[in-house]
């Protein structure tokens, strides 16, 4: 039994969305994890209006879009991990199945976006190794408050050859690196006059953290660049303009919109990946020129990449990229 008592409308809303998430491309339905695994008959109902979205899943992994104001892994049954057994179907493979799906990494509670999930022990082990070796690329977008008179730092080339600015500043005594680049600017929305708003503007940044320290993006942007994320009351410095842009419920403008990672399969041939799609939602031909503001589609794509190692020199791995559009509020910030 569940310890949570919910309204009938909440139960219906959750169950309807969960049934849709379990439909495969072929239209067949597969059940979620049994109660003997989860210990509960029903999912957490407090999230009836913000159920996490399954962007991709197969027998080994899943990629889930986490809503903001939800912790990834928490002590109580109010986190993303508690929802996963009701969102994802269990693996149908010979691999050792996890009792419940496990997030491989975390997002801050106030950050929305993509979370990579493992369904089997081998997938969890391989994905954990990829994160440890920094072979997983995470891309974020954030609206920040920028001083118009600030001089932008010189750009340098990242791994892909594109011009990126680099923040290399330790956090809590540990090496921490963040790549970022500006995408566009907007004037501030109408605010109560404070006399200083004319010196500021909003900037949309594309961000790629190389390391994963606690609140790394939020701290690097605020402390190193003086460009706090809009709504971030913890790191915005408490200025009059920054405070006027805060949300009453503590929400911030930071979203993890893309993940690129080695698919956890040891195989010489092509990996057959079944995608959970909705007609018109997924454009597999999308490329790295993804328009953060205008594109409204999901994208899931895979490709082979040459990779050399001492055990099997000249072998290749399958890379996977998952991309989602930004939350609607990102396009409504100016007005």
Q: Which two tokens stand for residue 157?
A: 């080339």
Helix/strand/coil for 147 = strand
Task: Identify the residue whose tokens are 């990579």.
Answer: 116
Measured distance CA(12)–CA(173) in Å, rounded: 49
Q: Of the listed 108, 206, 232, 236, which one is catalytic? A: 108
**Alpha carbon separation from 256 to 121, 129, 157, 191, 252 (Å, rounded):** 25, 21, 22, 28, 12
Judged by DSSP in three states, 211 sits in coil
Q: How far, in Å, are 52, 113, 135 from residue 67 at the CA level? A: 6, 7, 25
Beta-sheet strands, E only, within 190-234: 200-209
- CA-CA distances (angstroms) from residue 116 to 6, 26, 108, 164, 249? 29, 23, 14, 25, 26
Structure tokens at 137: 């690329």
Instruction: Look up 232 and say whether it is catalytic.
Output: no
CB 88 within 8 A of CB 49: no
Nearest Cα to 5, choosing from 34, 42, 32, 50? 42
Helix and strand tally (H, E) in the chain? 6, 12
Rounded to a whole number, what is the distance in angstroms from the first to the last CA of the chain?
A: 46
Catalytic amino acids?
Answer: 108
């Amino acid at each position: 039994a569940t310890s949570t008592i919910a309204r009938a409308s909440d139960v219906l809303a959750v169950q309807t969305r969960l049934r849709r998430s379990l439909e495969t491309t072929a239209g067949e339905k597969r059940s979620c994890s049994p109660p003997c695994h989860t210990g509960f008959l029903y999912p957490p109902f407090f999230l009836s209006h913000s159920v996490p979205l399954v962007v991709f899943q197969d027998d080994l992994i899943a990629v889930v879009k986490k809503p903001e104001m939800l912790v990834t892994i928490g002590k109580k049954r109010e986190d993303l991990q508690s929802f996963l057994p009701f969102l994802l179907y269990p693996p149908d493979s010979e691999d050792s199945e996890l009792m419940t799906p496990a997030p491989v990494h975390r997002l801050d509670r106030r950050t929305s976006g993509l979370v990579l999930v493992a369904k089997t022990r081998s997938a969890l082990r391989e994905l954990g190794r990829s994160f440890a070796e920094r072979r997983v690329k995470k891309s974020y977008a954030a609206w920040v408050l920028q001083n118009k008179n600030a001089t932008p730092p010189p750009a340098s080339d990242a791994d892909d050859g594109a011009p990126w600015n680099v923040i290399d500043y330790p956090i809590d005594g540990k090496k921490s690196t963040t790549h970022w680049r500006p995408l566009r600017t907007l004037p501030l929305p109408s605010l109560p006059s404070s006399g200083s708003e004319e010196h500021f503007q909003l900037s949309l940044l594309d961000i790629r953290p190389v390391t994963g320290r606690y609140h790394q993006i939020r701290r690097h942007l605020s402390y190193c660049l003086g460009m706090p994320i809009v709504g971030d009351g913890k790191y915005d410095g408490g200025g009059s303009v920054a405070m006027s842009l805060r949300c009453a419920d503590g929400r911030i403008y930071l979203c993890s919109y893309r993940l690129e990672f080695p698919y956890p399969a040891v195989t010489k041939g092509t990996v057959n990946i079944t995608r959970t799609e909705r007609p018109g939602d997924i454009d597999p031909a999308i490329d790295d020129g993804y328009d953060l503001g205008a594109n409204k589609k999901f994208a899931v794509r895979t490709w082979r990449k040459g990779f050399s190692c001492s055990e099997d020199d000249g072998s290749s791995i399958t890379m996977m990229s998952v991309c989602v559009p930004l939350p609607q509020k990102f396009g409504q910030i100016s007005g």
